[in-house]
Amino acid sequence: MPKTLGKIRPHLTQDEQLLFELSSPGKKGYQLPALDVPEVDPASALGSENVRAAIEHFPEVSEVEVIRHFTRLSTWNYGIDLGLFPLGSCTMKYNPRINEAVARTEGLAWAHPYQPEALSQGAMEVVAILEQYLGEIFGMDAVTLQPAAGAHGEYTGIMLVRAYLEAQGNPRKKVLVPDSAHGTNPATAFMAGYDVQTLKSNDSGMVDPAVLAAAVNEDVAALMVTNPNTVGVFEENIVQIAGIMHEKGAQVYMDGANLNALVGIARPGDFGVDVLHSNLHKTFSTPHGGGGPGAGAVGVRSHLEPFLPTPRLRRDGELWAWDYDRPQSIGRVRAFYGNFGVLVRALAYILAHGGEGLRNATIDALLNANYIRARLEEHYQIAYNARSMHECVFSDVRQEKQGVRTGDIAKRLIDYGFHPYTVSFPLIVHGALMIEPTETEPKAELDAFCDALIAIAREIEADPETVKKAPHMTRTSRVDEVAAARKPKVRWTPQA
């Protein structure tokens, strides 16, 4: 068993038995009245081959056992309503319940995508207002809300670049991707028909303008830069970087998955970005994870606007209408017009905060990340000395001396009742511990999280084996991850 957690107060974790293990022969969770019709032998009615006397190993439990079992299991479902979700580069913030109430407004929740435009004016108004507000936040001339999520927004953005360059007579051959960019960026460029060239970051975790300048030629279509990047650092030379690209006739694409660090403070369009996507479900707060739902809004400067996906909204007298007459458009990239429920939530979030509120949320996100950095930097090695933005990235180089790696620390953190941080990413950081608290976490939660990580750092110095064998307080402790991936055991076998 692990050492005591001391003054750390973990979130509730219980070692619940399987329903099969709670079973006792003869127990029932129901009581039926006597039959008021003649009893029929099932074998006679259905055929003996279709009837069995009992279900092998079927659990026999009482009603209260069933209720308590599933209620206790529900506390295992760790989510943002229970505690901090420190996944870096993912922005798993708390979703205000007013967003949910607005999204469930009957006229919006039950609007059918095939209903006539005349009956869809409210939904179309939501789309129009959100496009307008996002254009202001992004510093862009036009926005499409059609892409379904972040990587889809990336693909749409690069296809817009390709269409624009083709219209100039040459789509070019190559896209530059810094090693600090999101991992989906190279795949996006390849899917759009481009070769990918990786740019190595400098000692501050940023794009080196000299390295970029040497790589840009007439074959380069675009640079895909994540800003702030995946090590939580703002690209301080972004204006110079954009100038280098534009001088060669190339475009600047910005991955805006980390826009949570910029809203209300800096606009990508103002520092030279031609096209960006934003994960609305992250920055503008929709519950996400497990594959969706999401929205990957794409903002563009005016020269890319003719190529945006169809249809586009236009004003037809006093009514909104869909405009399909877009000869240079890349075409539709999503059925209907994106994940509408996410768009409603995003607009509710923006309207509830207002301009000043959005700026304050960003400042709180930056403050929280740097507070965690300040508390943990004595115990864990910070990856780069550059200023942290919305997230901070540490390395396990100090703990590695005791034979403990970032995955071990993350598993031990589960014993303290917290969801682990992002493990071993970004790849350019040795043994990365990537932490993003977002703006929604109170100081008490941040302190509890930091106390847990500090306690783990001290455990590693005193008794590294405790951490190397974690987790201890979960039903399933340390597993053979390689065997689990290659030979998964998905069937329960009763014990003798």
Residue 454 pLDDT > 80: yes
CA count, 13 A, side-chain hemisphere, 198:
13
* CATH number of the domain where residue 275 is located: 3.40.640.10
Domain that holds residue 47: 17-75
**Model pLDDT for residues 223-237, shown as the tens digit of each residue:** 999 999 999 999 999
- Is the same domain home to 347 and 365? no
**Considering 324, 352, 380, which residue would you say is the last residue of a domain?**
352
- Is the same domain home to 193 and 252? yes
Alpha-carbon gap, residue 139 to 246, rounded angstroms: 18
- Is the same domain home to 377 and 469? yes
Q: Residue 480: its pLDDT value, please?
A: 86
Q: Given the DSSP bridges, would you call strands 142-144 and 296-300 parallel, antiparallel or unpaired?
A: antiparallel
Q: For the residues 447-463, what does the mean pLDDT come to?
A: 97
Q: Where is pLDDT greater, at 89 or 209? A: 209
Q: Where does residue 388 rank: exposed (0-12), middle (13-18), buried (19+ CB within 10 A)? A: buried
Residue 475 pLDDT > 80: no
* CA angle 445–451–454, rounded 5-degree value: 145
- Is the same domain home to 335 and 370? no
Which pair of tokens denotes residue 332? Answer: 């539709």
Specify if 215 maps to a domain: yes
Number of domains in the chain: 3
Q: 201 vs 208, 224, 383, CA distance in Å?
A: 6, 14, 13
- Is the same domain home to 406 and 431? yes
Q: Would you state the torsion angle of the CA atoms of residues 416, 418, 422, 424, taken in this order, to the nearest 10 degrees?
A: 10
**Considering 352, 369, 397, which residue would you say is the last residue of a domain?**
352
- Is the same domain home to 275 and 301? yes
pLDDT category of residue 71 using cuts at 50, 70 and 90: confident
**Model pLDDT for residues 13-54, shown as the tens digit of each residue:** 556 788 888 899 888 888 889 999 999 999 999 999 999 988
Enter the pTM of the model: 0.88
Q: Residue 102: its pLDDT value, please?
A: 95
**Considering 292, 326, 352, which residue would you say is the last residue of a domain?**
352
- Phi, psi angle pair for 435, to nearest 5°: -125, 125
Q: Residue 197: its pLDDT value, please?
A: 97
Alpha-carbon gap, residue 471 to 466, rounded angstroms: 9
Alpha-carbon gap, residue 156 to 151, rounded angstroms: 9
Specify if 494 maps to a domain: no
- Is the same domain home to 200 and 280? yes
- Is the same domain home to 424 and 401? yes
Burial 264-300 (b: 16+ CB within 10 A, else e): bebbbbebbbbbbbbbbbbbbbbbbeeeebbbbbbbb
- Is the same domain home to 35 and 103? no
The helix-helix angle for 340-376 and 443-462 (nearest 10°) equals 50
- Is the same domain home to 57 and 106? no
pLDDT > 70: what percent of the chain? 95
- Is the same domain home to 347 and 387? no
- Is the same domain home to 346 and 470? no
